[in-house]
Amino acid sequence: MTPAAGGRPPTAWDVVGVGANSVDLVNVLPATPDPRVASLAKLRVRRQEICCGGQVATAMAACAALGLRVKYVGATGSDENGRRIREALAGRAIDISDVVTREARNQFAVILLDERTGERIVLWDRDERLALRASELPERALAAAAVIHVDDVDEETAIRAARIGRAAGRIVTSDLDRLTERTEELVAAVTVPILAEHVPPALTGESDHERALRKLRRRHDGLLVVTLGPAGAMALDGDCLHRVPAYDVPTVDTTGSGDVFRGGFIHGLLQGWPVDEVLRFANAAAAVSCTRLGAMNGVPTTEDVSRVIAGGTWRATAP
């Protein structure tokens, strides 16, 4: 086996992702529905697409598109959508040998997408039988990965996966999008928390993101990252704060852009780049995803990302 990128020692996987997947029914609309406005309470669907996505599944698709060796661990349904997500992952050369299949409907979402802005409303459901158990984790594969990436969907399992990674001296990144009784425990378990913008204020009581990250620093000594949507991203590395703005691209669909950011971030970490460069690459990856319809459909190649960073003209894919 050849050495991994950036002079890292060889591992079985560059990244193993543990978490959620979804099949999305995307409905492209002429505007955002609003029951208070007569003209917006009843809208004709312009276009409808079935797209694969989900937090960790999309992040792993991004990692694979960026040239990393990827394994996905999660639960899928026994229905057509479960088959669809497994085929979509395998078709991207992502190892799914430890994916489990339950006698249940796969997680799904109905997405209402405003074609004018690319913003969306997400309606979703996940059968409780799809919960991934900690006992189903492939511990050897986790210990043999350079990076383990977890979300906060099945928290007990995510915490266990993160602790396995820590014990093996691996990088453990996260996609934390909500606040629960176990969020602080999960933050402590990972080595590089990547938080949605509403999470640090909720955890710390500080509305300012810099103050929130500095308060989190008292509990966590790793690289702390927060995604800020159109404002880009921020990271606290030791006591050094990094702010990197987002890229301005024509927006088609923001679905999955945060997941793609995490894929780009993992790629940059594995190259050993400085924090500013990692954030810049991740922001550019997220920007590319916003120009395309669908979560997994929007994942970029390294060439796509480089083009955005270089400031080249970017053409959106019409919804």
Residue range 15-19: average pLDDT? 98
What are the tens digits of pLDDT across the range 292-319? 999 999 999 999 999 999 986 666 665 5
Cβ distance 154 to 130 under 8 Å?
Answer: no
CA distances from 174 to 31, 231, 236 (A): 33, 20, 15
pLDDT tier at 4, thresholds 50, 70, 90: very low
What are the tens digits of pLDDT across the range 174-204? 999 999 999 999 999 999 999 999 999 999 9
Cβ distance 275 to 226 under 8 Å?
Answer: no
Whole-number Å distance between alpha carbons of 147 and 6: 14
Whole-number Å distance between alpha carbons of 234 and 134: 31
Assess whether pLDDT exceeds 70 at residue 94: yes
CB atoms within 10 A of CB 316: 15
Backbone angle region of 287, left / alpha / beta, with phi > 0 → left and psi within -120 to 50 → alpha: alpha
Q: What is the pLDDT of residue 242?
A: 98
Cβ distance 130 to 106 under 8 Å?
Answer: yes
Residue range 46-52: average pLDDT? 96
**Nearest to residue 84, comparing CAs of 98, 59, 101?**
101
CA distances from 160 to 18, 30, 131, 192, 195 (A): 10, 44, 14, 15, 19
Q: Which amino acid does the sequence have at 229?
A: G
Reading the block at residue 115, the tokens are 């074609």
Assess whether pLDDT exceeds 90 at residue 100: yes
Q: What is the pLDDT of residue 1?
A: 27
Q: What is the pLDDT of residue 21?
A: 98
Assess whether pLDDT exceeds 50 at residue 234: yes
Domain spanning 10-20+55-103+132-310 has what CATH number?
3.40.1190.20
Whole-number Å distance between alpha carbons of 92 and 85: 11
Q: What is the pLDDT of residue 11?
A: 76
Which residues are CB-contacts of 74 (< 8 A; sequence separation ≥ 6)? Answer: 17, 18, 19, 20, 21, 54, 56, 57, 99, 100, 132
What are the tens digits of pLDDT across the range 123-172? 999 999 999 999 999 999 999 999 999 999 999 999 999 999 999 999 99
Q: What is the pLDDT of residue 318?
A: 54
What percent of the chain has pLDDT above 70? Answer: 94
In a 10 Å sphere around its CB, with 0-12 CB exposed, 13-18 middle and 19+ buried, how is residue 136 labelled? middle
pTM of this structure: 0.93
Q: What is the pLDDT of residue 314?
A: 60
DSSP letter for each residue of the chain: -PPPGGGPPP-SEEEEEES--EEEEEEEESS---TTSGGGSS----EEEEEEE-HHHHHHHHHHHTT--EEEE-EEESSHHHHHHHHHHHTTT-B-TT-EEESSPPPEEEEEEETTT--EEEEEE--GGGPPPGGGS-HHHHHTEEEEEEESSSHHHHHHHHHHHHHTT-EEEEEB----TTHHHHHHHSSB-EE-TTHHHHHHS-SSHHHHHHHHHTT--S-EEEE-GGG-EEEEETTEEEEEPPP----S--TTHHHHHHHHHHHHHHHT--HHHHHHHHHHHHHHHHTSSSSGGGPPPHHHHHHHHHT---PPPP-
Assess whether pLDDT exceeds 60 at residue 113: yes
